């Protein structure tokens, strides 16, 4: 399994991925699910992948040489000369379809579905930052101010904190912390997601980043955050009063039992017999 998250804010972009893959309980390995495409001063792009590992690795290799077929050869668009992130993600979609044409039938014959999910984001000189979620057919959707993040893989455990914290104006460092808490929640609840983690924090209009880090079990900040988050969650939980059930003398908000709830209870009288 995998967990990857990409966040797009006014201040920049944050990308985070785990590196655990498994094909059964005794087939657990570490593979990087993030790759950075950088041409300083011109473009900075990050690709996160989830799904079938062989498919995602093939897509990553083909992406670097793939050209859009709907353009003349002399004007062929690649990720390295695309004028916009929209054109770059179209190249990515074409790369996925190329792998599908080559491998999908053989995979299906072996009982394996063609399954790959990608997050692709960055900035090309001349336009603002953009981020996309790309699906197995090569189609995609774009992040907006109302939806400032994408998740792929095992997303449910890390989603609540993202929904509660992230806003378009969230500072980059705070967003990076939020992504790490989201990942920590996933690591806690799903053993198929694991360390080390890869993180990239990109500041808008820089076209390069010096905040690229690999986080393992010895990373001091991640250990501190993991311990602190657990402790603070417990403190907040303990600070919330326990429910009080229909006590007229209670000073706390009551958990009132509605009449319709009583109807759910069946009380056996002495004359009734179990069947």
Strands 28-30 and 116-124: unpaired
Split into its structural domains, the chain has a count of 1
- pLDDT > 90? residue 86: yes
Angle 64-66-69 from CA coordinates, rounded to 5°: 160
User: How many CA atoms does the CB half-sphere of 187 hold within 13 Å?
Assistant: 21
Contacts 24+ apart (CB under 8 A), 65-68: 66/91, 66/92, 66/94, 66/95, 66/98, 67/91, 67/94, 68/94
- pLDDT > 70? residue 264: no
In a domain, residue 200? The reply is yes
The whole domain housing 60 covers 3-234
The string of pLDDT tens digits covering residues 204-251 is 999 999 999 999 999 999 999 999 999 999 999 999 998 887 765 666
The mean of the pLDDT values for the chain is: 91
Helix orientation angle between 172-189 and 220-239, rounded to the nearest 10 degrees: 80
- In the structure, what pLDDT confidence band is assigned to residue 272 with cuts at 50, 70 and 90? low
Angle 229-192-55 from CA coordinates, rounded to 5°: 125
The residue-averaged pLDDT of 251-272 equals 62
In a domain, residue 145? The reply is yes
In a domain, residue 222? The reply is yes
The residue-averaged pLDDT of 15-30 equals 75
What is the CATH classification number for the domain harbouring 174?
A: 3.60.20.10
The model's pTM is 0.89
In a domain, residue 46? The reply is yes
Query: How confident is the model at residue 69, as a pLDDT?
Result: 78
The residue-averaged pLDDT of 127-137 equals 98
The conformation of residue 45, written as its DSSP 8-state character, comes to E
The string of pLDDT tens digits covering residues 185-210 is 999 999 889 999 999 999 999 999 99
219 Cα distance to chain centroid: 21
The string of pLDDT tens digits covering residues 41-82 is 999 999 999 999 999 999 999 999 999 977 777 789 999 999
């Amino acid at each position: 399994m995998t967990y990857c998250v990409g966040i797009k804010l006014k201040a920049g972009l944050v990308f985070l991925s785990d590196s655990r893959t498994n094909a059964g309980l005794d087939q657990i390995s570490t593979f990087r699910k993030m790759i950075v495409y950088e041409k300083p001063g011109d473009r900075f792009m990050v690709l996160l992948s989830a799904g079938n590992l062989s498919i995602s690795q093939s897509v990553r290799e083909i992406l670097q040489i793939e050209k859009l077929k709907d353009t003349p050869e002399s004007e062929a668009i690649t990720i390295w000369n695309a004028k916009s992130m929209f054109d770059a993600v179209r190249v990515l979609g074409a790369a996925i379809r190329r792998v599908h044409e080559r491998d999908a039938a053989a995979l299906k014959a072996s009982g394996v579905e063609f399954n790959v999910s990608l997050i692709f984001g960055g900035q090309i000189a001349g336009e603002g930052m953009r981020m996309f979620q790309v699906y197995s057919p090569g189609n995609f959707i774009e992040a907006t101010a109302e939806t400032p993040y994408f998740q792929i893989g095992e997303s449910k455990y890390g989603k609540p904190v993202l929904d509660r914290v992230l806003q378009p104006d969230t500072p980059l460092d705070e967003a990076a912390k939020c992504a790490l808490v989201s990942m920590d929640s996933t690591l806690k609840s799903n053993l198929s997601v694991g360390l080390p983690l890869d993180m990239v924090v990109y500041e808008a209009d820089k076209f390069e980043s010096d905040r690229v880090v690999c986080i393992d079990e010895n990373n001091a900040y991640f250990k501190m955050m993991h311990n602190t988050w657990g402790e603070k969650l417990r403190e907040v939980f303990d600070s919330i009063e326990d429910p009080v059930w229909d006590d007229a003398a209670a000073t706390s908000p009551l958990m009132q039992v509605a009449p319709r709830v009583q109807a759910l209870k069946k009380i056996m009288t002495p004359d009734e017999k179990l069947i």
